[in-house]
A and B are shown apart, each in its own frame.
Chain A
Amino acid sequence: METSHLGPDEWQAVALTLRVAIVAVLGSLPVAIAVAWFLSRVRFPGKILIEALVSLPLVLPPVVTGYGLLLLLGRHGALGQFLDEKLGIVFAFRWTGAAVAAAVMGFPFMVRGIRLSFDAIDRDLERAAASLGASSWLAFLSVTLPLSVPGILSGALLAFGRSLGEFGATITFVSSIPGETRTISSAIYALLQTPLGDSAALRLCGISILLSFAALVASEALIRTGQRRLAR
């Protein structure tokens, strides 16, 4: 019987993972929309370097990203010390730090999804809005953004899925503290290091597969909605 039910520690890891992923996605979404718009609409020399920088977390070993975050946002980090002393904000070894790590790792997915949908919008629609009297900001809010909603949601869901599975950057940056930073991935890893931890690890694996699968299916479904919507 014990093998089919999650214990309190496991539930805690599941709840924490969801909280970290949701906060990571909601926090980075406005930034991702701004960056995606910038990359889709503005041409400037050296753009390719910015594009590469945005995609860097995709290919960098996560442990490098995590260590980078530690150097930047750790208690004695360049930015971390300032945030701690002036604003009392601490990321190191807190669940909020896990959210930052998840946000950074999911960011490239989010920007890609959103940018693709910005790219797919007929620029003449925005021009039509301008000729009807809309400022570029109003045209963005009333035409570009609503038409991109499926792409934005699908990018956000992909990033959400990526956040659920984040391990390397998280464990390097904020360690694996039960109840604070022990997400599903780091809990599975910890369980596998423990005698008799296999069945609990297996249960968490099952949950992990279910959550990730659901996020991907939802993301695919939204891409299709988007394609239908743009087919005029």
Chain B
Amino acid sequence: MSVFDFSAQCRLGHFSLDAVFQAEGRIVGLFGPSGSGKSTILRLIAGLLRPDSGHIAVAGHVVFDSKTGVDLPARRRHVGLVFQDGLLFPHLSVRQNLLYGAWARGKRSGLQLDGTIEILGIGHLLDRAPSRLSGGERQRVAIGRALLSDPAVLLMDEPVTAVDQERRAEILPHLQTLAEHARVPILYVSHAMAEVERLADQIVFLRDGRVTNIT
């Protein structure tokens, strides 16, 4: 059983995506130049975009299938999404951001909270407003927020691109620890080869909306 079983066709203006891949690494890298369709694939998996046709299964659960008419809404897909610029809720504190997923699903996640805070090293930031975080801190909180929504997989869309060089070195080790401890598979999107090589067990290469190679 693959963690990511993806096959989708999708037309967006001038851009067309027709990508098929199966992957099962702990961290799967999705690598390609900008405009190759990486973010589109993430959005298709998360349910923020609907493909014209295809079959998408995550951790053994079918979330979309055009033949059988399955199309789960984003909130039922249990896919933790980390956006490029964090997208923390600006009117909530770091703690409230972290607990948003548990709150939205009506669950408690106090135990997980402590573990996640420790792995990401964000314990001292809990009462801050997102506007008072550095880029690196913001991304770590965004990762924690996604992780605490109890996802079956984590999707990360260039999580360190908006962060300066020094801070990247501060986030990447956290990601490795995360993949080892949290046992949540990660699909990691990046256009920086060094980053993908360092983190990923398996790499899917993308170009012009097509998969060109899988290692």
Contact = CB atoms under 8 A, between A and B. Distances in A.
Interface of A: 122, 124-125, 127-135, 138, 142-143, 146-147, 229-232
B73 A130 contact: yes
Given A130-B74, A131-B75, A133-B101, A229 B90 contact: yes
Contacts of A122: 87
Contacts of A232: 88, 90, 130-131
Contact of A129 (B77, B91, B104): B104
B105 A131 contact: no
Contact of A124 (B73, B83, B149): B83
B55 interface: no
Given A132-B146, A133-B149, A127 B74 contact: yes
26 contacts: A122-B87, A124-B87, A125-B87, A125-B89, A128-B81, A129-B100, A131-B75, A131-B77, A131-B79, A132-B80, A132-B100, A132-B104, A132-B145, A132-B146, A132-B149, A133-B75, A133-B105, A133-B149, A142-B104, A143-B89, A147-B91, A229-B91, A231-B131, A232-B88, A232-B90, A232-B130
A127 B91 contact: no
A128 B145 CA distance: 10
Interface in B96-134: 100-101, 104-105, 130-131
Contacts of B81: 127-128, 131
Closest 6 CB pairs of A and B: A132-B101, A130-B74, A134-B104, A133-B104, A133-B105, A131-B81
Given A146-B91, A229-B91, A131 B46 contact: yes
Most interface-central of B74, B79, B80, B83 (chain A CB within 10 A):
B74
A170 to B, nearest CB: 38
A135 B75 CA distance: 7
Given A125-B89, A130-B48, A229-B91, 9 more contacts: A127-B48, A128-B87, A130-B47, A131-B74, A132-B80, A132-B145, A135-B104, A138-B104, A142-B100
A131 B90 contact: no
Interface in B30-83: 46-48, 73-75, 77, 79-81, 83
Contacts of B47: 130-131
Contacts of B149: 131-133
